Amino acid sequence: MAPETLVRDVPVERLHPSSSNPRKTFDPASLEELAASVREKGILEPLLVRSHPNGTPDDFEVVAGERRYRAAVAAEQETVPCIVKQLTDLEVLEIQTIENLQRDDVHPLEEAEGYAALMKAGKYDEARIAEKIGKTKQYVYDRLQLVQLIPEVRQVFLDGEIGVGHAVLLSRLKPPEQKEVVGGRKDATFSGLWRPNQGHMQPRLGKDGRRNRAPVTVRELQTYIDDYVRFRPEQTDLLNLFPETFEALGQAKEDEIKVVHITRDYQLKPQTRMKGQRTYTVRSWKRADGKVEPKRHNWEATGKPSKKCEHSVMGVVVTGPGRGEAFLVCTAKKKCTVHWKSEMDERKRRASGQATKADQTEAGRRAAREAEWARQEEERQRFRSAVPLIQEEMEKAVKAAPILTLAAILLRDRTNRGAVKAKLEEGPFGEIKTAEDALRAAVALDYRDDLQHGAWNHERVTKDLKANLGLNVRKVVDQVTPRPKKARKKKGKKAPEQKASEA
């Protein structure tokens, strides 16, 4: 026998929101528009309700239509048309999740919590939910993962600062990893999720209380995770996120093949190192599964199928390009003649003391590069120490510069136009009364940004200040940190034994 269904007008004070409804957020502006429509036309579509399980017979629980119920309350309606059905708790949850959550205005996080509640009830799994809503199993899995987001990420997600693509990527990480990606690394002025907005190196609160920041793209976030979050197979849901790796590692276990950690980078980043676990960098392994190694942004592929050998082990890419992949590699640099023959021959030649002219040339080039790097680092340090004095001299030069020169400097970077007002309000330039004051202050602040973050590009900043303001930065740097004098070689007479040997 079909359950009894009634349609009746129910007093608003007798209606109560459902505690199991996964939808918790309602846009105030949209709700006000609906309330205005209710005042004019009333409720056009009845609410779906049931007798309240914990109330009197005259009390009802709103199963579907809570937004209309809230609009009726705001519109001060006395009664609301309702369809009354006798429903179980599971039927209520199914209606609220399967039907209501497919609306466009439902937040993905609320959708995720609805699916999680259904699975907790015990009657549904991912496959059945996917079948009910007409989506793929991967879609349902990604939504369910969103309940794993830490509070900081949940809040910015609900506030609309990040999209569902960002949230899905972050939800696949452990809570400490999420916190690191969102908050930034200790040695950096940026995070993996946010990029500074309006030219600021570090996000900070603006006049409206919102942070002066913008999210990176989803692809940029994925690259950051690949580079700075170490892949840990034992802590990852391989079956759903990396099915090919799940299969490869399962086969390796069955065949009793050793598993090693590898990276396509030339050097492992400090943040991705793991105590007690060796990670083979790109110079220490070669692909050995017969497949072609794909070309990456920092990895030159040969385009030829890799060679197989008897020394191969299972390599898991734990950081960098291809993070999460698993395939056979050879790390036997001292005994595999299939992959490492040329390197083995080179080691033997060097061990015998046979240094070629090419070796000597390369050693000289290496020494020259190291000397140049050391010189550049010394110049950067000297520049950093002189920044306060350079800044003072720059501001003096700005005050004395012609207006047209300042205008040309300011307009060289058109992307900063929208940030000029905010910069001037924050900048310590005193009271700004005229357009000329504003222009000079804006240019000075623009150069301040260059000086504070220009040590790695100090030569460009030096040339720019010289060309536009006539400021000799090198002279100021030498004043703060004098350049060390080079030791001169003393010319002396040659010893008799040396003359005899030359003769």
Q: What is the pLDDT along the chain (503 residues), one digit of tens a residue?
A: 345 567 789 999 999 998 888 887 788 888 899 999 999 888 888 999 998 888 788 899 999 888 899 999 999 999 999 999 888 888 888 888 876 666 656 788 988 988 888 888 878 889 988 888 888 999 999 999 999 999 999 999 988 889 999 999 999 999 999 998 988 544 444 578 887 654 444 444 444 444 567 888 999 999 999 999 999 999 999 999 999 999 999 999 999 999 999 999 988 988 899 999 999 999 999 999 999 888 764 455 557 899 999 999 999 999 999 999 999 999 999 999 999 998 898 888 877 776 666 677 777 888 888 888 888 888 888 888 888 898 888 888 888 887 767 766 765 654 454 455 555 555 555 666 677 777 777 778 778 778 877 677 788 888 888 888 889 988 998 888 888 776 665 555 555 555 444 44
The CB density around residue 352, as the number of other CB atoms within 10 Å, is: 8
CB 423 within 8 A of CB 445: yes
- Domain boundary (170, 204, 228) is at 228
CB 146 within 8 A of CB 110: no
Q: Give the ranges where 401-503 is alpha helix by DSSP (H).
A: 403-410, 420-426, 435-452, 458-469, 473-480, 496-502
- The two beta strands, 313-319 and 326-330, are antiparallel
The verdict on residue 333 lying in a domain is: yes
List the domain range (segments joined by +) for residue 14: 5-106
Q: Based on the fold, state whether residues 171 and 251 are members of the same structural domain.
A: no
Which 3 state secondary structure label does DSSP give 62?
strand
Q: Based on the fold, state whether residues 247 and 330 are members of the same structural domain.
A: yes
Which 3 state secondary structure label does DSSP give 388?
helix
The rounded distance, in Å, linking the Cα atoms of 483 and 497 is 39
Q: Give the ranges where 229-310 is alpha helix by DSSP (H).
A: 238-241, 243-254
Q: Based on the fold, state whether residues 220 and 265 are members of the same structural domain.
A: no
The rounded distance, in Å, linking the Cα atoms of 433 and 420 is 15
The verdict on residue 9 lying in a domain is: yes
**Choice among 66, 111, 126, 293 that is catalytic:** 66
The rounded distance, in Å, linking the Cα atoms of 47 and 60 is 11
Which 3 state secondary structure label does DSSP give 296?
strand
DSSP lists the bridge partners of residue 299 as 296
Which phi-psi region, left, alpha or beta, contains residue 330 (left: φ > 0; alpha: ψ -120 to 50)?
beta
Q: Based on the fold, state whether residues 159 and 250 are members of the same structural domain.
A: no
The verdict on residue 373 lying in a domain is: no
Using CA atoms, how far residue 82 sits from 8, 95, 133, 357, in Å, is 6, 16, 25, 92
Positive or negative, the Cα torsion across 445, 448, 453, 458? positive
300 is catalytic: no
The CB density around residue 135, as the number of other CB atoms within 10 Å, is: 14
- Domain boundary (310, 335, 351) is at 351
Q: Based on the fold, state whether residues 325 and 425 are members of the same structural domain.
A: no
pLDDT at residue number 226: 94
The verdict on residue 368 lying in a domain is: no
The rounded distance, in Å, linking the Cα atoms of 181 and 271 is 12
CB 83 within 8 A of CB 47: yes
The verdict on residue 56 lying in a domain is: yes
The CB density around residue 361, as the number of other CB atoms within 10 Å, is: 10
The verdict on residue 340 lying in a domain is: yes
Which 3 state secondary structure label does DSSP give 206?
coil
pTM over 0.85: no
CB 163 within 8 A of CB 218: yes
Domains: count for the chain: 4
Q: Based on the fold, state whether residues 267 and 216 are members of the same structural domain.
A: no
Which 3 state secondary structure label does DSSP give 436?
helix
**Rg, C-alpha atoms of the chain:** 34
Q: Based on the fold, state whether residues 343 and 273 are members of the same structural domain.
A: yes
The verdict on residue 318 lying in a domain is: yes
Q: Based on the fold, state whether residues 344 and 309 are members of the same structural domain.
A: yes
The CB density around residue 433, as the number of other CB atoms within 10 Å, is: 8
Using CA atoms, how far residue 484 sits from 71, 234, 378, 383, 433, in Å, is 77, 54, 10, 14, 46
Q: Based on the fold, state whether residues 45 and 94 are members of the same structural domain.
A: yes
